[in-house]
Every structure is written in C-alpha cells, then in structure tokens.
A and B are shown apart, each in its own frame.
Chain A
Amino acid sequence: MNRNLLFFTVALLLCVAASEKLWPRGLQDANHTSSSGPEKGATAPDFTLKVVDGKGQTMQLSSLQGKAVLVNFWATWCEPCKIEMPWLAELQKKYGPEGLQIIGVAVDDSGEKNISGFARKLGVNYPVLQGTEKVADMYGGVEGLPMSFFIDRSGKVSDKILGLVSESVIEDAIKKSLEQKGDTKTAAGK
C-alpha cells in the first residue's frame, strides 16, 4: 500500500475518534434537537397535570389552544435548568402579550414545597406543573433536561430543544411558534 495513503487513512481515523471523544453525545448537534418525543409538525400530546402550589388545581394543555405554548421539562437537580428558567420568565413577560404561554413541568419527586420554592427563587412567573411518568413518556421519555417543546397556535410542535442553548435560540423558537395562526376560538387560557 502507498505510504501516503496509509498515513492519510490513519490520520483520518484518529480525527474521527477524537471528534467523537470531544463531542459530548446527544445534545450539541447543529439544531439542538432531540430524536425523541413528538416530531416537528405533529400534534402535541394533550395532558392534564396538577399545578404545583395550585391548591389541587389542574391544567390541561389543550385548554391553551390558540396560544403558542412552550412546555419546558425541568427538575430541581438540573443545574442547566437553573440557568434557563430566569430566561424563560423574561421571555414570558416579553411575549405573553403576543400569546405565549410557558408551562414548566417538573420531572422531580422532591415534593411540591421544594419544587415551588425552587421555582420562586428563580423568578418563575409561569405555571409549574407536577410531571408524571406517563406525560414524560408521551413526550419521548424526556431523555434529558432541560427539554423544551414549542407548540404553535394550532397545537402542533414547531420545535424541540434538548439541553441548554442560548436565550436567543429559545427566543427564535418562540417567535416561530407565535407566527403560526391557529384557531383562536378555542378555550385559550381557560
């Protein structure tokens, strides 16, 4: 075999091996998308979950149809979630008047008191729901956190992001979900 060719082959293999080693798995693909959960364009699975600190109140996703909804799965043990949640609070404030509703779904068994205290400390100004395994499964098992599903006004998934990304990436996905015109005659924000 030509020596140059052999050298080239070995160098190429080493580059591939190094890139696999240096590139943490699962998240840092160009689109920060996840392979699990409802696909883009699919109808977001409906759920009803208990509102944390809501005195027994529940919230149904489909009751928000006509709004753009960001369903953000998080947990108190997730450090990157702590960075993202104040951004989400800011974005809720900024885009709420345009029809955005962010929902936090705590995938956490640390108890309602801890979850609400944690969220309050981070300035969360949107409803936090107590997640269940069933709902997590409906959304692909929530393979990692934070995990966000962006749902447009017609109830379809417009984007999904696994892991912490920059605030501007989240904002762009929110804008995209707000662009879609939906049936505003439904029981939005009930």
Chain B
Amino acid sequence: MRKTTFLTLVVIMLLRAGTSAQTPGREFVTVDPVDPVTVRMGSSAPMQITLHVQPGYHINSNKPLTEELIPTQIHFTPPEDLVIAKVQYPAGVLTSFPFDPTTKLSVYSGNVTVKAAVLPAPKAGAGTYTVHAEVKYQACDNNACYPPKRVPVAFDVKITSSSSKLPKAKPTRTSPHIHN
C-alpha cells in the first residue's frame, strides 16, 4: 500500500516537472527531421517538412488575415546546384479564441506539413548537397503571444544522373495553396 502511494506520488511529480519546466526559451513548435531527397537531373522530386505545434498553442498560418500578424514561413537556402520550388503551405483553420470570441484568426495547430519540389539547377552535377532552411513562426495560446521564433532545418539532396534509377517516391497529397 505504502509502496504504491509512494510510486504514485513519484509519477505525479515527474509528470508535473516535465510539463512545468517552461522557460522563456521554450519551443512551441518542433520540426521533424526531413527525409533525404533523391532527384534525377532534368527532373524534380517532392519533399516535405512537418511541424508539430505543441498542445494548447497555435501559430499563424502562412496567410494570416491581418497584416500585423506574423505568417508561418519556411525560408530555403539551397546551394547553387538546387532550386526549391512550389512551396505549398496548408490552408489555415479559421478559429476564434477566448481573448476575442468575435474575431476569427487563420491559424495552424497540431501537425502542419509544408510541401515543396526539389529541382537540380540546369548546370548541376551529380552528388549530394545539403539544403538549409529556416522555419519562422509566432505562437500564442488562449491568453498571450510569444516572440517570433526561428527553427533551423537541413536536409540532404542527392542528384543522380538522368539514366540512374530512383527509389520509389512516397505518394503525396496536394495542398490548395501554392507559392513560388
């Protein structure tokens, strides 16, 4: 009996410690590691970046409804041999929050997948390249907003010659918003 009570208390304390250790530098969004991409010269390959918005928080969509709000954006910095095109952000969900039930905001919460296409530049050579990117977001909860944050992301792209065989690509869904 005592042992069980003790164990229960330990588990409760651990649970609370894990969730209450919120520091000013906390992350409201985590980004999954990006799968490496293989693309043939003269062709393109899909890639995607998945963000996870922590429960209880939301971030602005890529198209917030007022210009003051900071959109969620991914800025790619590819090497000269690669081009990142057709960046597709999901549509935001129109939501009202307790701080202003009369106004709807276009936001993301939960999992957010941003898709893009990777293309070798016309003069690119075969090889493996690293693309650096940065996810910019600004999070809020039901009472407060938190300063904008940037999360660095990197992924490898292998360019193969046009005659080589590619691994089978994963099927992808299309998204309504396309930004070049």
Contacts and interface: CB of A to CB of B under 8 A. Distances in A.
Interface of A: 1-2, 5-6, 9, 12-13, 16-17, 20-21, 23-28, 36, 75-83, 107, 110, 114, 118, 140-147, 162-165
Contacts of B70: 77
Interface residues of B, number: 33
A77 B144 contact: no
Contacts of B145: 75, 77-81, 144-145
22 contacts: A2-B1, A5-B1, A5-B4, A9-B8, A13-B8, A13-B11, A13-B15, A20-B19, A21-B56, A23-B56, A25-B19, A36-B24, A76-B68, A77-B138, A80-B140, A80-B143, A114-B68, A118-B68, A145-B144, A145-B145, A146-B144, A164-B144
A9 B144 contact: no
B172 interface: no
Given A12-B12, A77-B68, A80-B99, A26 B144 contact: yes
Given A25-B20, A77-B69, A77-B138, 5 more contacts: A24-B57, A25-B56, A27-B141, A80-B100, A145-B144
Contacts of A75: 145, 147
A79 B22 contact: no
Contacts of A21: 55-56
Contacts of B105: 79
Given A9-B8, A17-B15, A26 B141 contact: yes
Contacts of A110: 68
Contacts of A28: 142-143
B16 interface: yes
